[in-house]
Structure 1
Amino acid sequence: MSAVLAHPTHGPNGVEVTASAPGQDALLTPAALELLASLHRLIEPQRQARLAARIERQAFFDAGGLADFREDTRGIREGEWKVAALPSALQDRRVEITGPVDPKMVINALNSGAKVFMADFEDSTSPTWANLVAGQQSLIGAVAGTLQFTVPAANGAPGKQYALKPFEEQAVLIVRPRGWHLDEKHVSVDGTPIAGGLFDLALFAFHNAKLLAAKDRGPYFYLPKLQSMEEAALWESALSHIEAALGLPQGQMKVTVLIETLPAVFEMHEILHALRSRIVGLNCGRWDYIFSYLKTFRRHRDKVLPERGQVTMTQPFLKAYSELLIQTCHQRGAHAMGGMAAQIPISGDEAANEQAMARVRADKLREVSAGHDGTWVAHPALIPIARDIFDEHMPAPNQHGVLRDDVKVGRDDLIKPSLGTITTAGFEGSVEVCVRYLAAWLDGNGCVPIHWLMEDAATAEISRTQLWQWLHSENLHLADGTLIDFALLERALLNLPARLGDTDALPGGKRIAEAIALLDKLSHDDELAEFLTLPAYEYLD
């Protein structure tokens, strides 16, 4: 964890940096800080306006309002237009792997055999200052082709060396910055924290854009958690400003947008249109989408979802979401990317592992059969499984010709809740996942294997939000008839350390007590926190 400086470092043009990490001076050069300052001054007033609009919109939902398609943008949805031509490096994206930005992960992912690696500063990276600086350094080394990593020798075993394969054998790099809602508290301009996403994206572009452009590799980005076309337009302004500042052609930097909020699914045409000179696709960010459904309808007693394990992509509201995304993207000439397979191989239990891999195969077959152009996996072992299924059913680089004119999706299809139950195991599992993930995140680890699933902030958010909604819904019961109340939560929290056993062996095990206390507080609060990472961020650094 980085140390906070007693006295901030004053950069050029009103910039202050209030933390220190090895090598940051080479990263935060005067010219890089000038870019951040100019970008902040251009974007910050509009960012705050968009965040205020989110609060206003959520108040409408809390009062009983329902999400719907916008009447004022009907002309965009019904118009004849396409996005710009897709770059050759992104024509075939059949399998993408995602993960944090530490050196070992970056090397393994680029070498993995996937078509694309999404280097993630958002849901799978705990944004300690040390992690952010080291992540940017890792990506600079990856783009330059010089990144190496050595696991130190231990217990008589020699250290293991990691190095990149030749450039032409590597996955295409796409970087995901943080969303609009997150600040970077260690860097301020004129006394105001810069947006975390602008810090991540602009700093990466400053150091790597020209080299990537020379290699015909972008730079490329994934944009997370947008809720409206206006938020997409704000990214367009930021990207255009960066291109001008760096002397890049307009539209050089390409983006894919994750449709992972309920409001955004009603504005997919509009989001594509706002970014039409640079967008190459939309992605079904399924886990964050479920979280957004829960958060949007947190006050709607008729839209309480069952436990997470029962909310699968075959549920009607999720099937409608994914098929509408495919139809929309292909109508506009963009990729329709599928969602994440969070499973990881189960060692020591061949039967359980085969069941888990069978679920992966079924999920990927569903996606390619529906018309998706590619998919995500969380573990390298799943790449051959996903690739074989897409190779068999998608011999071309993509499926843009699958227009899905048969899809007829209206508002009610997208908001109808799934049926199911809440079991004791489901309730206690939500408590465990949230506590264990939060403990690891507080300890600097944003991507954690729990019960053979790779958990990140999105999946932890489902657990945290479901607990809050279940506890704040009157007269809600478990499948066995037990009332869901705060006494049930307290028992689960009290019993959790004993259930976990040797917590020192777990990622972030020494911070389990902190995580329990924070989840207890967030669950009792009368208002649902918009994002788990907002209050938790105060604990970092």
Structure 2
Amino acid sequence: MAPAAPRLPSAPGVQILGPVTPEQASVLSPAAQSFVAALHRCFNAHRLALLARRDARQGEIDAGRLPDFLPETAAVRAEPSWRGAAPAPGLVDRRVEITGPVDRKMVINAMNRFGVQDSNAPTWSNNLDGQVNIRDALLGTISFTAPNGKSYRLKPKGELATLIVRPRGWHMEEKHFLVDGQPCSASLFDFGLFFFNSARASIAAGQGPYFYLPKMESHLEARLWNNAFNLAQDMLAIPRGTIRATVLIETILAAFEMDLPPPLKTSPRTFIKKLRNHPDKVLPARGDVTMTSPFMDAYVRLLIKTCHKRGVHAMGGMAAQIPIKGDPAANDAALAKVRADKLREVQAGHDGTWVAHPELVKVALAVFNEHMPQPNQLFVARDDVAVGAADLLSTRGLAAGFTEADLRLNCNIALAYMESWLRGVGCVPIHNLMEDAATAEISRSQLWQWVRHGAATRDGRAVTAAWAVQILDDETDKFRSELGDEKFRASKFDLARRLLAGTIQGKEYSDFLTTLCYDHILTITAPPSRM
């Protein structure tokens, strides 16, 4: 029988509205709660103001004022002398990183191979278990025994990978943790809890504390993170500059401001979102929008030039392919795509790359080892690159249109991913690709965009809201048929279908799949009695 949940004491002004196991309570002490609460009280008002700024900027884009480089930062961009901090221990050579969730087995496997980044569905239990698992990994005490009896242990310290933690984006809240009656910033909750419990262990391990920062849209949002880092370091008497962060350039607005923050990684996925009300920016089938598409290629070239000018790493994108068992020809074709993509990245000047599956580590590593024998390519200046605003917005050269099959594929992917996310699983193999929230967003957003503008398939049929919903119902029925009635009723497909139907009909658009679904994974309880 599992031990009874403790009567968790709470810090002043803090209410914990989710169940907490004895092990989770070890990372949610009153002192840790107070630390998170202090960060939230200092920075939440500024966070909310920056989110309001996002809304205002979206209104300007909808009205026709397209993104451009900021005139007020021209002098900073033109200044040749400023440089980022030198790479920290464990970050000098970043040639292959693996992205994954923070369950105990995954953390062990990832640290035994290469760095781990978070693909987590943020249930309350997942978040707290992840904090425990990461802390134990840094302390070297983590272990796991699978139901089949197989045991997982860490390799010796000198053979371990560097751990990089990704807190949630500024737009999210942690509704199980209230500060002065209001939900805590999820970003500050994730960061603060990790930093309080694991920063010193990370420093002792010689690898951190290091972070990936997602979903930012401006240098002001990066500055807010820097302010939070400084306060956190001061509060724990850790020297400023100990924290290192890599910014994910996964919003189109951030691409126009990348010559301001720290090391960068390409992941530009919000072209559709930000330009969704512009009919001339309707994109073709998801599979036809690749890293060699005009605006994506411009992102990459500008990012490498910008990073290397400032002496920091420019990381490549994720290989979403996974091994295909039982079909050698299909598996060989998938691996060939990975090799070609990684060759493109290393020849462009990237200093490292991502993969989504452990078996792809050796594939990516072989390509980078052959073409990047030194630890990085910071010496590749890319002075040949001249990227303007029009280049970052260009759709010239893209394949035209899409088919009904593309519509059905987008519905299928978005539906399957959302169903899994609602069950607490945020990294999902679908059609031989590893989908996370960002990739599933492409499918959902394309459906909305095609309906919104009445885009036509290649055979001339206009996409209407009614047709999109009919296709969604067809795909839902396929899952019902595959699972059988009993398993289907036990799944989250009905809820996923309802949520997806409400956001693909060309009307109201939810900016994030995760916020659209978040309230449905809450496990709110009455606050425990204070001790």
CA deviation profile, 1:111-146 (whole Å, cap 9, x unmatched): 12x3x222x1xxx21111111111111111101111
Structure 1 alignment gaps of length 5 or more: 154-158, 273-278
Whole-Å Cα distance in 2 between the matches of residues 91 and 307 of structure 1? 38
Shift of 1:465: 0.7
Change in Cα spacing, 1:459 to 1:532, as seen in structure 2 (3 Å) is same
Check if 1:16 corresponds to 2:15.
yes
Q: Give the 4+ runs in structure 1 shifted more than 6 A.
A: 504-509
Structure 2 residue matching 1:467: 3-state secondary structure: helix
Equivalent residues in 2 for 1:229-240 (5 A)?
229-240=219-230
Whole-Å Cα distance in 1 between the matches of residues 313 and 34 of structure 2? 35
Structure 2 residue matching 1:385: 3-state secondary structure: helix
What residue is the counterpart of 2:138 in the other structure?
Answer: 143
What residue is the counterpart of 1:276 in the other structure?
Answer: none
8 Å Cα contact 2:401-2:456 kept in structure 1: no
Q: Which amino acid is 1:535 matched to?
A: L
Structure 1 residue matching 2:426: 3-state secondary structure: coil
8 Å Cα contact 2:120-2:426 kept in structure 1: yes
What residue is the counterpart of 1:452 in the other structure?
Answer: 432
Whole-Å Cα distance in 2 between the matches of residues 433 and 387 of structure 1? 29
8 Å Cα contact 2:465-2:506 kept in structure 1: no
Instruction: Give the alignment partner of residue 120 of structure 2, picking from 112, 122, 125.
Output: 125
Instruction: Give the alignment partner of residue 341 of structure 1, picking from 319, 328, 337.
Output: 319
What residue is the counterpart of 2:106 in the other structure?
Answer: 105
Q: Which shows bigger deviation, 182-191 or 416-425?
A: 416-425
CA RMSD across the alignment: 1.7
Whole-Å Cα distance in 2 between the matches of residues 200 and 174 of structure 1? 13
What residue is the counterpart of 1:362 in the other structure?
Answer: 340
Whole-Å Cα distance in 1 between the matches of residues 491 and 482 of structure 2? 10
Shift of 1:324: 0.4
Shift of 1:27: 1.3
Q: Which amino acid is 2:68 matched to?
A: D
Identity of aligned residues (%): 48
Shift of 1:510: 1.0
Whole-Å Cα distance in 2 between the matches of residues 392 and 247 of structure 1? 43
Structure 1 residue matching 2:151: 3-state secondary structure: strand
Equivalent residues in 2 for 1:202-241 (5 A)?
202-241=192-231
CA deviation profile, 1:63-93 (whole Å, cap 9, x unmatched): 1221000000001100121011111311000
Instruction: Give the alignment partner of residue 275 of structure 2, picking from 293, 297, 307.
Output: 297
Structure 2 residue matching 1:20: 3-state secondary structure: coil
What residue is the counterpart of 1:482 in the other structure?
Answer: 461
Whole-Å Cα distance in 1 between the matches of residues 146 and 459 of structure 2? 49
Shift of 1:215: 2.6
8 Å Cα contact 2:449-2:506 kept in structure 1: no
Equivalent residues in 2 for 1:53-64 (5 A)?
53-64=53-64
Check if 1:471 corresponds to 2:451.
yes
Whole-Å Cα distance in 2 between the matches of residues 502 and 66 of structure 1? 45
Shift of 1:10: 6.7
Q: Which amino acid is 1:527 matched to?
A: E
Whole-Å Cα distance in 2 between the matches of residues 473 and 41 of structure 1? 43
Q: Which amino acid is 1:249 matched to?
A: P
CA deviation profile, 1:249-293 (whole Å, cap 9, x unmatched): 0111111111110000110112x2xxxxxx4x10012xxx22x11
Tell me the TM-score normalized by structure 1.
0.92
8 Å Cα contact 1:330-1:401 kept in structure 2: yes
Q: Which amino acid is 1:19 matched to?
A: G
Shift of 1:508: 10
Instruction: Give the alignment partner of residue 184 of structure 2, picking from 179, 184, 194.
Output: 194
Shift of 1:307: 1.2
Shift of 1:9: 6.7
What residue is the counterpart of 1:261 in the other structure?
Answer: 251
Structure 2 alignment gaps of length 5 or more: 523-531
8 Å Cα contact 1:10-1:16 kept in structure 2: no
Instruction: Give the alignment partner of residue 516 of structure 1, picking from 466, 482, 497.
Output: 497
Structure 2 residue matching 1:90: 3-state secondary structure: coil
CA deviation profile, 1:162-195 (whole Å, cap 9, x unmatched): 1111121111000000000000000011111111
Q: Which amino acid is 1:95 matched to?
A: V
CA deviation profile, 1:217-247 (whole Å, cap 9, x unmatched): 1110001111111100000111111101111
Equivalent residues in 2 for 1:20-31 (5 A)?
20-22=19-21, 23-31=23-31
Shift of 1:524: 2.9
Q: Which amino acid is 1:519 matched to?
A: L
Q: Which amino acid is 1:98 matched to?
A: T
